Amino acid sequence: MVRDVLIWPDPRLKAKAQAVAAVDAAVRKVVDDLIETMYAQDGVGLAAPQIAESRRIVVIDRRPQEDPEKPQEPIVLINPVLVGGKGEAIWNEGCLSVPGEFEDVKRFETITVRALNREGQPFEITDAAGLLGIALQHETDHLDGTLFVDRLSALKRELIKRRMKRLKNEMRAQGKTAKEILEEREAAEDGAAQEEAAL
């Protein structure tokens, strides 16, 4: 089931998520909802706190960004633990809970993570780099109540917070999702640009 994604600022996004005690049918249902919601929102990753579930669960699929023609390949991480990072990378990040905003964030260049899969079996991803490595760090941050905006300057964070509050007010007033509003804005900007070019 596609779930609503919480938009920052929201206190539920700042809470530390609870470890999953056992991978059972209820946990797998949350996993399935996360995957459906991630794809519905055109996301690369999604963490359970973003759909108001205080559980240490993350799903990632870099395919939409790297090769949209490939079949879906979601990675499920339950109780993920980052066990080693190397190097440094600057990545222009966005977030489904901070829609329409993108900023450069400093991360490890490669990361190793241990987790349980959808069936509760342990596995490890070693020296993940590029989009996968960044997504692992970004989504695991959510489990500890950290968003990418927390890694920005206070000024940038405050400007983004104001825009998110305006967006949330528009969502309430218009009865639309953030995605719908942002798509309408983009279409209006494209239309204005085409009119300008025609002059």
**Reported confidence tier of residue 80, pLDDT bands at 50, 70, 90:** very high
pLDDT per position as a tens digit, 123-169: 999 999 999 999 999 999 999 999 999 999 999 999 999 999 999 99
- Please write down the long-range contacts of 59-62, taking CB distance under 8 Å and 24 or more positions apart: 59/31, 59/34, 59/35, 59/139, 60/132, 60/135, 60/136, 60/139, 61/35, 62/130, 62/131, 62/132, 62/135
The structure tokens listed for 195 are 């009119």
> Is residue 1 predicted with pLDDT exceeding 70?
yes
pLDDT: which is higher, 199 or 138: 138
139 is catalytic: yes
Average pLDDT over every residue of 17-21: 98
Average pLDDT over every residue of 48-66: 90
pLDDT per position as a tens digit, 115-125: 999 999 999 99
The predicted structure's pLDDT at residue 199: 67
Residue of 53, 101, 103, 139 with catalytic role: 139
Question: What region, left, alpha or beta, does residue 8 occupy, with left being phi > 0 and alpha being psi -120 to 50 degrees?
Answer: beta
- What average pLDDT does the chain have? 93
Burial class of residue 182 (count of CB atoms within 10 Å of its CB; 0-12, 13-18, 19+): middle
Average pLDDT over every residue of 57-65: 85
Question: Taking the model in full, what pTM does it have?
Answer: 0.89
Question: Across the strands, what pairs with 151?
Answer: none
| Alpha-carbon span 149 to 147, nearest angstrom | 5
How much of the chain is helix, strand and coil, in % rounded to 5?
45, 25, 30
> Is residue 185 predicted with pLDDT exceeding 90?
no
The predicted structure's pLDDT at residue 69: 77
The CATH classification number of 11-152 equals 3.90.45.10
pLDDT per position as a tens digit, 169-180: 999 999 999 989
Residue type, 106: K
pLDDT per position as a tens digit, 94-104: 999 999 999 99
